[in-house]
Structure 1
C-alpha cells in the first residue's frame, strides 16, 4: 500500500510506471464564506482539469466526514449479506436499486466490471415509505442514509453557488437554480464494493473509463484505485486518497450548463492492491429532470433524457459501445490517443 503521509509521484501498476496526479485543494470553510481567492481557484479547477480535493478538515466540514464513516459501516452490512438478499432489492430504476458484479463492461478489454453497487436516490429517501433494501431499512440505517445524502447535497450546492458567483451568474442563470431541492431529479447516493481482482487472470476488473452523468460527483474513498485522465493528457494516472478530503469532479451536465467552459473528468477505477476489497461512496448531484441544455452533439436534451440515454450506453455490449459516439460515454471530452495497458502485471510497488 502507498504510505499515507507522503504522496508518491508515480506507482507501479500492471507492469508499468503510472503517474500519480496532483490536484488542487479547495477549502470548504473558505468556500462557504465565498472568499474571492478561493472562488477564483475553484473556477480555474473546473475550467482546466475538472476535478479537485475538497478539504473537510475544519469545523464546517468535519461532520460530513463523520457521516461518511457511519455510512461505511452500513455498506459493510449490506454487501456482506447473501446475494439473494441483495438481488431481492434489484434495479428499480437506473438511479435506484442494486447492480451485481458484472453488470457492465470492465476496465480492460474482454472483461466485465469488478464491483457491485447499491443506489439510493435523494427523491426516494424523502418519501414516507422509501424503497430501501430490507437488510438496511431499520430506523438507524435510514437516518444514516438520510444524513449522508443531505450532507453530500449541501456540499454540492455550496460548490455550485461558489461557481455561479465566481463566473458572475445571477438570478435564474445561477447553477444552483438548475438543482432546486423541491424539483424531481436523478440525484443519487451510490455505494460501491470492488472485489479483489488481478488484471492478468480475472474476468471481472474495475470500472471502465467514462465521464459522469452528474453535474458534480462528491466521492469519498480511503483506498487507492481511482485513475483520472486530465484534459490533454496521454495516460491515466492515480489520484491518492487523503484523510478528511472528498474528491470532486465535474460531470457532463455541469459542463453542458456552463456552455462547455468546464471540463468533465475522464476517469476509471482499477484494482490497485489485487487482494483487497475496496469501498467507495459517490454522490451524484444532478440537475432537475426537465433542465434543458445542449450536449456535445449540439442536441437540445433534458437532464433526465441525458441520464437515461447514457445509463443504457453503460449497459451496452463492447461492440455497441464501440459503435456509439464517443460524446456519450466520454461526454464529448477528447482523448489525445488511446490508452491500453498490456496484459502483463507485476506485484504492486510504490516509488
Structure 2
C-alpha cells in the first residue's frame, strides 16, 4: 500500500481523502481453480483482507442480476410505513428490522444513519419465516431466496479456493465449518442510509468495525464505504466498480486461519448529503458450534462470538470501551485515527477494542 501522497484522492466536503486501491479477483478463474488467481486470492486475505470480486463473466452475471432484483425489492420495502417494516422488530441479532439510530454513529455524539432489514439463511428455508408481510409475496420471497443462495455459492467457492491455497484437507478445510445443514447466523443484510450531513446531522453513517463473519460479500453501487488498510492511520474510500462485489475477511475466518488473515476495518460515511444510499451485504458465518481461539486467547464458539460482538456493537461508547480489547476490531491493530474533515466533530482516538 503506497503512501497517501501517491494515492488517488476524492473531495469529501472540501477535504481530499484517499481512495485506496484494491486487487480484483476473477470469479470465473476461481471456479476453474487457476493456480495464479487462487494464489492472488490468498495474498489478498493475508495482506489486506479485502478485494474486488469480478462477476462480469458468464458464471457471475446471475449474481449481478440477483443484486438488481434485490435493490428493487429494497426500494419498495424501505418506502413502506414504519409499522409494516417493523412488524416483527429485531427477532434475533441476525434476523429482523433495525430502525434508524439503533447504534452508535460514526462521529462523536451521533447515532447511526441507516435502517436495515436482515433475512437469515436458516430462516428463509423455514415454512413460515419471520419476514414482514410486505415481503411475503411469492415474487419477493423468490428474490430473497436467490440472493441468499447465490451469495452462499459465491462465498463458499472462495472458502474452498482458500482451503486449497493453504493445503487444507478433510475436516481442516474452512468450508467444513460452514455446512449448509448446520445452524448458523449467516444472513443477508439490506441497508438504507438516509440523507445526512457529517457537519450538522445527528444520524451519521456506520461506526468503524470488523465484521463478525467469515467472509462478507458486499454490493454497493454508491460511494460511502471507507476502509483502514493494515498499517495505515487514515480511512479512505473504496471506489464502486461496475460488475464487481467487494469481499472482506471477517473475524471468524481470521481466527480460523490462525490469525494469519487480516480482518478489514471499515466504516460508512455520507458522501453526498442529499443522497439515499443502499447496500446489500451477505455475511457468511461459521456453524454456531464451531470452536476457535479469539484474539484474547479464549476458546469460543462462533455463535457466542456473534452474540458478544453484536452486543458491544450496539452499546454506547462508554460500554464499548469496557469490552475486551479485540472485540470491535477482531484483534486487528488499531492506531489513533486521523479524521481530516474540517468543521465536523472529530472521531476520538480509540485503542484496539
Shift of 1:337: 2.4
1:247 aligns with 2:246: yes
1:193 paired residue number:
192
Shift of 1:123: 0.2
CA distance in 2, matches of 1:335, 1:120: 31
Task: Find out whether 1:37 has 2:48 as its counterpart.
Answer: no
Q: Which residue of 2 aligns with 1:316?
A: 315
Q: Which digits, 9 at most, give the CA deviation of each residue in 1:203-247, with x for residues without a partner?
A: 000000000000000000110000000000110000011111000
Name stretches of at least 5 consecutive residues in structure 2 with no aligned partner. Answer: 1-6, 345-353
For 1:338 and 1:28, locate their aligned partners in 2 and report how far apart those are by CA, in whole Å: 34
Distance in 2 of aligned mates of 1:111 and 1:339: 18
Taking only aligned residues, the RMSD between alpha carbons, in angstroms, comes to: 1.1
Name 2:147's counterpart in structure 1. 148
Instruction: Assess if the C-alpha contact under 8 Å between 2:8 and 2:20 holds in 1.
Output: yes
Whole-angstrom CA distance in 2 between matches of 1:295 and 1:185: 18
Residue pairs, 1:1-351, within 5 angstroms: 9-342=8-341, 344=343
The CA deviation at 1:277 is: 0.1
1:17 CA displacement: 1.5
Q: Secondary structure at the match of 1:180?
A: coil
Q: Which 10-residue stretch deviates more, 78-87 or 303-312?
A: 78-87
Whole-Å Cα distance in 2 between the matches of residues 240 and 340 of structure 1? Answer: 19
Return the alpha-carbon distance in structure 1 between the equivalents of residues 210 and 282 of structure 2.
Answer: 14
Structure 1 unmatched runs, 5+ = 1-7, 346-351
1:147 CA displacement: 0.2
Q: Per the alignment, in what secondary structure is the counterpart of residue 311 of structure 1?
A: helix
- How far residue 343 of structure 1 moved from its aligned partner, in angstroms, is 5.1
Say which SS state the counterpart of residue 326 (structure 1) adopts: coil
Deviation at 1:324, TM superposition (A): 2.0
**Using CA pairs below 8 Å that are at least 6 residues apart, which structure has the higher relative contact order?**
1
TM-aligned CA deviation for residue 318 of structure 1: 1.2
Equivalent residue number for residue 4 of structure 2: none
CA distance in 2, matches of 1:267, 1:71: 23
- Within 2, Cα distance between the matches of 1:321 and 1:107? 14
2: CA distance, partners of 1:89 / 1:241: 33
